[in-house]
Amino acid sequence: MPEPKLSEVVRACELLGYRYEVEDKKYPRTWYRPSAQIVLKVPSTASKYEVIKQLGRKLVEVRLKHQLAQRAS
């Protein structure tokens, strides 16, 4: 999914039941552009691959629901 928004990632984490922390970050090359990173707190038994796969699927679902809601209005 190209360029997921912070709000979409946060919503996907909430729907999956993951605890997370949003941190404001600035990158040296683009110091003028606001950005952030999300630190996920998942059980140690979960594999990184599975967490990323679940998050990606949920992101697609969140974006589609948002787009459908906008078209309906």
Domain CATH for 40:
3.30.56.30
Domain assignment present for 45:
yes
Tell me what pLDDT residue 58 has. 96
Range of the domain at 39: 6-72
pLDDT in tens, 6-65: 999 999 999 999 999 999 988 888 888 888 889 998 888 889 999 999 999 999 999 999
Place of tokens 């999956």: 16
Per the structure, the count of domains in the chain is 1
Rounded to 10 deg, the angle between the 6-16 and 48-72 helix axes is 110
Q: What is the pTM of this model?
A: 0.81
Tokens of 9: 């990632």
- CA-to-CA distance for 59 and 52, rounded, in angstroms? 10
